[in-house]
Chains A and B, each alone.
Chain A
Amino acid sequence: MWIELLTKVLIAGAVLTGILSFGGVLTWVERKQSALMQDRIGANRASILGFRLLGLFHIMTDGIKMFAKEEFIPRTDHRVLFLLAPFIAWLFSLAAFAVIPFSPELTVAGYQVTLQVANPEIGLLVAFAMMGMAIYGVVLGGWASNNNYALLGSMRATAQMISYEVALAAAAVGPLLIYRTLNMQEIVIRQGQLYNGWLPLWGIVLQPLAFLLFLVAGAAETKRVPFDLPEGESEIIGFNLEYSSMRFGAFMFTDFIEKILVACLTTTIFLGGWQVPWLADDGFRLGGALALELGPMVVWLLRLAAFGIKVCALIYVLMLVRWTLPRFRYDQLMSFGWKFLLPLAFLNIIVTAAVVLVLNL
Chain B
Amino acid sequence: MAITVKKIDASPKMNLLERTYLREILRGLWITNRHFVVNLTRHILNLFRIKAKPGAVTIQYPEQHRGYHKRLRTAHYLAHRENDDGPRCVGCMMCETICPAKCIYIVPTEHPDPNVEKQAVKFTIDMGRCVYCGFCVEACPEDAIRMDSGRLDICSYSREGMLWDMDRLLANHHDPAPYKDEEKWLDEEF
Contact = CB atoms under 8 A, between A and B. Distances in A.
Interface stretch (A33-41, A63-71, A112-120, A138-146): A33-41
A361 interface: no
Nearest to A326: B28
Nearest to A322: B32
Given A41-B56, A41-B60, 7 more contacts: A37-B32, A37-B36, A39-B55, A39-B57, A40-B57, A323-B32, A325-B25
B36 A324 contact: no
Interface string B51-64: 00001111010000
B42 to A, nearest CB: 9
A41 B59 CA distance: 9
Q: Which size class do A's interface residues fall under?
A: 10 to 19
B109 interface: no
Contacts of B56: 35-36, 39-41
B29 interface: yes
10 contacts: A35-B56, A36-B55, A37-B33, A37-B36, A40-B58, A41-B58, A41-B60, A320-B32, A323-B32, A324-B25
A37 B35 CA distance: 5
A36 B31 CA distance: 12
Nearest to B42: A36
Interface string B30-44: 011101100110010
Interface residues of B, number: 16
Interface of A: 33, 35-41, 320-321, 323-325
Chain B binding surface, main DSSP class: helix
Contacts of B58: 39-41
Contacts of B25: 324-325
Contacts of A36: 35-36, 39-40, 43, 55-56
Nearest to B58: A41
Closest 9 CB pairs of A and B: A41-B58, A36-B39, A37-B32, A41-B56, A324-B32, A324-B28, A37-B36, A36-B36, A37-B35
Contacts of A320: 29, 32-33, 36
B35 A38 contact: yes
A35 B58 CA distance: 10
Contacts of B60: 41
A256 to B, nearest CB: 19
Nearest to B33: A320
Contacts of A323: 32
A278 B40 CA distance: 31
Contacts of B57: 39-40
B36 A39 contact: no
Contacts of A33: 36
A37 B56 CA distance: 10
Contact of A321 (B29, B36, B39): B29
A35 B39 CA distance: 9
Contacts of B55: 36, 39
Nearest to A45: B60
A251 B102 CA distance: 45
Contacts of A39: 35, 39, 55-58
A39 B54 CA distance: 9
Contacts of B36: 33, 36-37, 320
Contacts of B40: 36
Contacts of A35: 56
A321 B35 CA distance: 14
A227 B25 CA distance: 15
A38 B58 CA distance: 10
A289 to B, nearest CB: 37
A325 B32 CA distance: 10
A325 B35 contact: no
A324 B35 CA distance: 11
A306 B174 CA distance: 62
Q: Which of B29, B33, B36, B43 has the most CB of A within 10 A?
A: B36
Contacts of A325: 25, 28
A287 to B, nearest CB: 34
A350 B101 CA distance: 69
Contacts of B28: 324-325
A36 B33 CA distance: 9
B84 to A, nearest CB: 46
A35 B29 CA distance: 15
A38 B25 CA distance: 17
